[in-house]
Amino acid sequence: MNLNALWEYANPKKFIQTTDRVLPWVAGLAALSLVFGLIWGFFFTPEDYRQGSTVKIIYLHVPSALMAINAWMMMLVTSLVWIVRRHHVSALAARAAAPVGMVMTVIALITGAIWGQPMWGTWWAWDPRLTSFLILFLFYLGYIALWEAIENDDTAADLTSILCLVGSVFALLSRYAVNFWNQGLHQGASLSLDKEENVADVFWYPLLVCIAGFALLFIALVLLRTRTEIRARRMRVLLARERMGA
Amino acid sequence: MGLTVSDLTIARGGIRVLEGLSFALGAGQALVLRGPNGVGKTTLLRTIAGLQPPVSGRVKVPADALVYAGHADGIKATLTVRENLGFWAQAFGNSDITGAMEAFQLAPLGERPAGALSAGQKRRLGLARLLVTGRKIWVLDEPTVSLDVEAVAMFASAVRAHLAGGGLAVIATHIDLGLSEAQVLDVGPFKAKPLEHDDFDGAFL
Amino acid sequence: MIALLIRDFRLAMRAGGGFGLGLAFFLIVVTLVPFGVGPQSTLLATIAPGILWLGALLACLLSLDRIFALDWEDGSLDLLATSPLPMEALVTIKALAHWLTTGLPLVLAAPVFALLLNMPTEGYRPLIISLLLGTPALSVIGTFGAALTVGLKRGGLLLSLLVLPLYVPTLIFGAEMARRGAEGFDTTTPLLMLAGITCGTIALLPFASAAVLRVNLR
């Protein structure tokens, strides 16, 4: 495949046309895998011998935490594309992904607190991972606030892209700093190659389905929001043109 | 030494304002820009000064030859007139400010804090800054605002001396400076026509 | 370059509040803490390094929006952008001027404030070193934030929102070093990390600050 063909989708019109066809499928698949995965996870898996039924919150906690980070990664990539190739759709996709990523972060934080209460006996502990997610939340907040504050669309896209770049470096630094600062009570990564140590197969398969569901949900939401951003932007331009008396 | 603008299209706030502009200036020449308010004169001057990128077309300026003066004079109220001017001279690698002080009759005001100056005096200080930079290309946006008749004459003679010394100037102004040798360009006819709706990039613009 | 530094220095001196305001704010924070947590000297001694670091950080934050806002309003920034000074040098000088007028006085005043908070004397040296190493990073990061928000009418609050998360690594290592020092532990690791972060930000962030400033001047 010619890689250059990919850039065609950076044309807003082409993007809208393509997503018209793709979006229902992605949304449908997301709904299907989420319903299937969550029902499987919540009702058809045994209870953990140590953690009881509370362990089942991983079907929300782990996928949302993964997507919270992946959303930022996606914003980083689209920001870079905007800086290098200046495709408007790319910048708008980053803008569209931010609130979705922020909500994922909030879900991860809340489900973490709900899980932490019976496990650690406290709703909130300054555990490195929880703290990192709180910091990630702050980064999302700042990023979104900057988009909202700037009137000129291109200026906003430029500034937020650079903020995203710089923010990524500092978010990574914060992650390690926080690790150093407090060794923490979190269990090791639930997803790693030696999965048998962490999560047994019975929990593992529905978890995979849920992760796929969250990823699809994320893609569907971002596509939908990007379309909205494109149309909103187009409306602003048309209005501005009318004011100019064109 | 020369300034060449070729087939320039510029935008303000994402909206194209002027298109198809071309002109060339050589040493000793001046260009006066005219046109109604909001047509894009300031945007054009800022583009020439390199403060914003053009949408298309080229601005050819020799490196480190240009000085820009906009609506604001960049004067610090708590510094004296001499300190203000001295700073700009140093920022452009010069040190002598007496000539500039005299050209705009600022010498008696030298030790006064710039905050205590009148609007016209501040403007004179802002224009004196042009002289201390030693740059050959002046890009001036409404330089005569709040100047009285006498000060306008001071400014006109400063421009004339600058041109005589091989400099060049692009000036956006509404009043007649009495610069008979200056070319006049009305930017009105270059007003950008809107693009077709479904042009590239799905026509945001 | 020196000319710009001297000018900024002069402005800070004459406008009043350049040196004084940050220090006064620092003093107020340190004065208010015992009212909030109680006057027990052991408790104060325990939290002193953290309070001093937080106070320094907030005092730094307070003066950030002045870095570019004044030059932006009176048009100096446009003129500086067309001067021979590269934008990267401009933002570096601005950060340096900010550090000299805000960060350095805080570092010098820190021992006095540490005394007020009953900090053990062996903790003074690590505290001062950590502040000396850390506050330049605060100024450089703050300059980036100030450059991001320079054109905005109500940039002050947004500036804090953008800059504070970026301060997290510096704060963690700086306060950790001061705390370990006060408790008599080895401070090498946080010292090295703090120095690394400061050097990294000073080396790289001015490029980002210059880029956003150029965008904002368009």
Q: Which residue does chain C place closest to A157, by CA atoms?
A: C215
Report chain A residues whose CB lies below 8 A from the CB of B15. Answer: 237, 240-241, 244
With CB atoms and an 8 Å threshold, state whether A173 touches C215: no
Q: Are A159 and C208 in contact (CB < 8 Å)?
A: no
The residues of chain C scoring below 70 in pLDDT are 15-19
Q: In what order do the strands lie in the sheet with B56-60?
A: B15-26, B2-12, B56-60
d(CA C199, CA A42): 50
Is C162 close to A145, i.e. CB distance below 8 A?
A: yes
Burial of residue C132 (CB within 10 Å: 0-12, 13-18, 19+) is middle
pLDDT tens for B27-69 read 888 888 888 888 888 888 889 888 888 888 888 888 788 888 8
Whether A166 and C166 lie within 8 Å, measured CB to CB: yes
Q: Is the ipTM of this complex over 0.85?
A: yes
- Best residue in C68, C80, C83, C216 to probe B by mutation, most B CBs within 10 Å? C83
Residues of chain A in contact with residue B204, where contact means CB-CB under 8 angstroms, are: 12, 88, 153, 233-234, 237
Q: Report the residue of chain A nearest B205, measured CA to CA.
A: A237
Find how far residue A222's CA is from the centre of its chain.
Answer: 9
> Is B202–A12 a contact, with Cβ atoms under 8 angstroms apart?
yes
Q: Please state, in angstroms and rounded to a whole number, the distance separating the CA atoms of residues C155 and A101.
A: 24
Task: Show residues of chain B in contact with C10, CB under 8 Å.
Answer: 78-79, 83
Domain definitions of chain B by residue range: 26-53+61-190
**In tens digits, what is the pLDDT along chain A, a chain of 246 residues?**
455 666 666 678 888 888 889 999 999 999 999 999 888 888 887 776 666 677 788 889 999 999 999 999 999 999 999 998 888 888 999 999 999 999 999 999 999 888 888 877 888 888 888 888 999 999 999 999 999 988 888 889 999 999 999 999 999 998 888 888 876 555 555 544 344 445 667 778 888 999 999 999 999 999 999 999 888 888 877 777 777 665
How far apart are alpha carbons C213 and C202 in whole angstroms? 17
Can you tell me the distance from the alpha carbon of A229 to that of A239, in angstroms, rounded to the nearest whole number? Answer: 15
Contact between B73 and C84 using a beta-carbon 8 Å cutoff: no
Mean pLDDT across chain C, nearest whole number? 88
Q: What is the pLDDT of residue C139?
A: 94
User: Best of B15, B44, B76, B133 to disrupt the C interface by mutation (most C CBs within 10 Å)?
Assistant: B76
Residue B200 has pLDDT above 80, yes or no: no
In what order do the strands lie in the sheet containing B66-69? B66-69, B137-141, B168-172, B30-34, B183-186
How many residue pairs from chains A and B have C-beta atoms closer than 8 A? 41
- Verify whether the Cβ–Cβ distance A244 to B15 is below 8 Å: yes
Rounded to whole angstroms, the maximal C-alpha distance in chain C is 57
SS3 state of residue B113? strand
Give the tens place of pLDDT for each residue, B168-180.
888 888 877 777 7
Residue A173 with chain C: CB contacts under 8 Å:
168-169, 197
DSSP state of B52: S
Neighbours of A127 (CB within 10 A): 19
Contact A233 B203 (CB under 8 A): no
CB-based contacts of C152, cutoff 8 Å, min separation 6:
A149, A150, C158
Of B13, B194, B201, the CB nearest to A152: B13
In this complex, do C148 and A159 lie within 8 Å of one another by their Cβ atoms? Answer: yes
Query: What angle, rounded to 10 degrees, do the helices at C66-73 and C124-148 form?
Result: 30
- Closest partner CB to B204 (pick from A12, A14, A152): A12
According to the model, what pLDDT value does residue C154 have?
A: 76
Cβ contact, residue pair C164, A138, below 8 Å: yes
CB atoms within 10 A of CB C49: 27
For B26-53+61-190, CATH number out of 3.40.50.300, 3.30.420.10, 3.40.50.1950, 3.90.650.10 equals: 3.40.50.300
Does A195 contact B at CB distance below 8 Å? no
